[in-house]
Amino acid sequence: MSMVVPRGFRLAGVSCGIKQEASREDLTLIVSDAPGVAVGVYTQNAVYAAPVAIDRQRTPSSRIRAVVANSGNANACTGERGMRDALQMAAWAAAGCQAEPEQALVMSTGIIGQFLPMERIERGIRTAFGRLGNDSEAFLAAARGILTTDKGPKTDTRTLALNGQPVHLAGMAKGAGMIGPRMATMLAVVLTDAPLTENDAQTVLVEAVESSFHCISVDGHTSTNDTVLLWASGAAGGPPLSGPELAAFQDALTEQCIALARQIPDDGEGASHRITIDIHGARSRADAQRVARAVADSPLVKTAIAGGDPNWGRIVSAVGYSGAEFEPDALGLRLNGVCLYAAGEPADFDAAAVSRSLRENRETHLQIELAAGDVPLRFWTSDLTVAYVRFNSEYHT
């Protein structure tokens, strides 16, 4: 896979012994040649990990030189020692590129409630500095270094012309379980060589996340470590983007975040279906989110789809308890293009054919018509299988 690394960045992914599988990368290091603009969006869980606390304090910033991340250990619910360890990780990364400690950000993901093996991490950071590169191999190694239960790296790159110059965006993400909106057990980093101000970078990231990482769910469980970073080196040159160029960058960033976000439920632990939920006719975006989350997080809806059962009653009842404002007598539902429920009444349909479409296709599409307004929303989730239960019952032990 060919990945274009934005100018001004070098990356590495190494194995330092945090994960049980010694051959798997579990530490990622990204450095910039010069201070860059970095902004973030973080978990809304009241219980959050030490790295989240540090990065919230340090972003937005126009001085970031390094991001260091580990997988296999979340450094969450680890008290004062966890905070000291996260600060030390960032300090080691900063020292490696002759920067001040506050010029580095840190991320962790993995098992909650365990202390980091700091000697291994220190060795891993030293090793990573010796392997930094700006090619596809380096990018993919870094993308693998943030994975936990993922089947493989989740990446996306794209290029657009702005102010007469090519501008690159390269994103990586992780996440397969403990995924619920606002946000989930996921990490994501988007690198770009576009010139951005702190305020504009924060604005475009928030907007992109709202349509992407805030619109996914696997199990509705909001985690402690969720972080999405946008880091701009400005190496493309020229003044900070504004006007139509900034709008074009916003579109590209949103598309990239959606591309990354969709890969997460598609890789949901034990998932056999990726489910796209389209909400039409909501009174507000908040109502559309309420309906989408209620349907996406319903174990009954998820298991019905896993079993190939077009049980529309489970979907309709989830819409009803979502808390959204709508007229029940106008509610409509389509599954894989087939009308199951219209104007508040069951529709005639071939249940066997719909069941077959579920069993024979990984992609499942739900279209819910609320007829309460004109606000649409697209949301992604996955089904719930015996494999998910088995995996998560054995995950820690």
What residues are paired with 275 via a beta bridge? 364, 381
| Predicted local confidence at residue 278, as pLDDT | 98
Q: Which residues are designated catalytic? A: 185
Sequence spans of domains, the chain: 9-266, 274-394
For domain 274-394, which architecture applies?
Answer: Roll (3.10)
Say what the pLDDT of residue 183 is.
Answer: 42
pLDDT mean for each 10 residues of the chain (397 residues): 88 92 88 97 86 96 98 93 98 97 95 94 98 97 91 92 94 74 68 98 96 80 75 96 97 96 79 93 96 93 95 96 95 98 95 96 96 96 82 59
What's this model's pTM, rounded to 2 decimal places?
A: 0.89
pLDDT at 237: 94
Q: What is the pLDDT of residue 8?
A: 97
The per-residue pLDDT for 396 is: 53
> What is the structure's pLDDT at 36?
98
Please tell me the predicted confidence (pLDDT) of residue 397. Answer: 37
pLDDT, tens digit, 9 for 90 and up, residues 331-355: 999 999 999 999 999 999 999 999 9
CATH, range 9-266: 3.60.70.12
